[in-house]
Amino acid sequence: MNHFLDLHTTDATELRGMIDAARSMKDARNGRPRGAPDDTQPLAGRMVALVFEKPSTRTRVSFDLGVRQMGGETMVLSGSEMQLGHGETIADTARVLSRYVDLIMIRTFEEAVLQEMAEYASVPVINGLTNSSHPCQIMADVMTYEEHRGPIAGRRVVWAGDGNNVCASFLHAAGQFGFDLTFTGPPQLDPDPAPVGFARDRGRSITIERDAARAVEGADLVVTDTWVSMHDSQSARERRHNLLRPYQITTELMARATPDALFMHCLPAHRGEEVTSEVMDGPQSVIFDEAENRLHAQKAILRWCLQV
Ligand code: CP
């Protein structure tokens, strides 16, 4: 069963194959209207369940559109409106959905929910974000970097701010795609040691630099994310903002990176908080390419899961 649960649990050669397939499929669409079908319809007759226990714009729309372009159909399900949100177990939900659909994409809170869904489903399961990781996003980000600047292997990425779930997937990607990563942020929000260890075990240089200006010096890619994630308590908002203010991405900070460095943010962003509008809308920013490439990368992931 080809579940797509995390970058560190998926073979690196398979991940590379998905990125290459995504680029080919993107090229093959050749500027046609978004709603037009692909030339090939590998998901014809397939039904995909998109389960959301947290809000989403990009994940929801890009998965829905991607399945339709490939000839399949989707049903978008809100966790709170399903029996899942009223006490039915994950295991039972997984077994029931597997009788109706060909693949389950789930966005949820705890990693354990994703793992249980995958354990009991008899169809492939895709991780659409948990509190611990966001692998679909980082597949799109690797694709985006390489479209603009060539191979990401050997480059140095700086993650600024909160060492959150998206940071964890960037660390997994460092190990799988062969780039180095510097984390710059306050010690209270350091990344989880497990993904740091995963990347280091694969020979990558993973460093922590508390001074943002020093961290960004000579970087090839600068990445940040919102200071308060969906799973964080809103009561921690002020404390987090105070801790993270020195890590805001500004034009002055970007000027310390290499001249052709890119800026990424998975979105949604809080302009004026983790990043200024000047950087978001500036020449180094590829934020909307990242958003578009969610579509293409996930189409490749769907095909890999279903082997079609
Ligand atoms: N980046 C991302 O996953 O966006 P959504 O929360 O809008 O899906």
Whether 276 lines ligand 1, by a CB cut-off of 6 Å, is no
Specify burial of residue 260 (Cβ count, 10 A radius: 0-12, 13-18, 19+). exposed
Per-residue pLDDT tens for 239-293?
999 999 999 999 999 999 999 999 999 999 999 999 999 999 999 999 999 999 9
What pLDDT is recorded for position 83? Answer: 87
> Using CA positions, which residue lies closest to atom 6 of ligand 1?
56
What's the 219 CA to ligand 1 centre distance in angstroms?
A: 25
Across all residues in the chain, what is the average pLDDT? 96
What pLDDT is recorded for position 264? Answer: 98
What's the 137 CA to ligand 1 centre distance in angstroms?
A: 8
Residues involved in catalysis:
107, 134, 137, 225, 266, 294
Both tokens of 246, joined, read 């020195």
What is the bridge-based pairing of β-strands 262-265 and 221-224? parallel
What pLDDT is recorded for position 22? Answer: 98
Grouping H, G, I as helix, E, B as strand and the rest as coil, residue 126 is: strand
- 5: amino acid identity, one letter: L
Whether 288 lines ligand 1, by a CB cut-off of 6 Å, is no
* From 231, 294, 295, 301, mutation site for ligand 1 pocket: most ligand atoms within 8 A of C-beta: 294
Residue 231 has pLDDT above 80, yes or no: no
Q: How far, in Å, CA of 177 to CA of 244, rounded?
A: 28
- Give me the percent of the chain exceeding a pLDDT of 70: 100
Per-residue pLDDT tens for 48-66?
999 999 999 999 999 999 9
What's the 199 CA to ligand 1 centre distance in angstroms?
A: 24
What's the 161 CA to ligand 1 centre distance in angstroms?
A: 18
Whether 59 lines ligand 1, by a CB cut-off of 6 Å, is yes
Residue 232 has pLDDT above 80, yes or no: no
Region 186-193 average pLDDT: 98
Q: Which atom of ligand 1 is nearest to the CA of 128?
A: 3
* From 52, 57, 127, 229, mutation site for ligand 1 pocket: most ligand atoms within 8 A of C-beta: 57
Whether 57 lines ligand 1, by a CB cut-off of 6 Å, is yes
What pLDDT is recorded for position 4? Answer: 98
What is the bridge-based pairing of β-strands 180-184 and 206-208? parallel
**Between helices 193-201 and 165-177, what is the axis angle to 10°?**
10
> Using CA positions, which residue lies closest to atom 2 of ligand 1?
58
What pLDDT is recorded for position 80? Answer: 87
pTM of the complete model: 0.97
Whether 127 lines ligand 1, by a CB cut-off of 6 Å, is no
Per-residue pLDDT tens for 125-157?
999 999 999 999 999 999 999 999 999 999 999
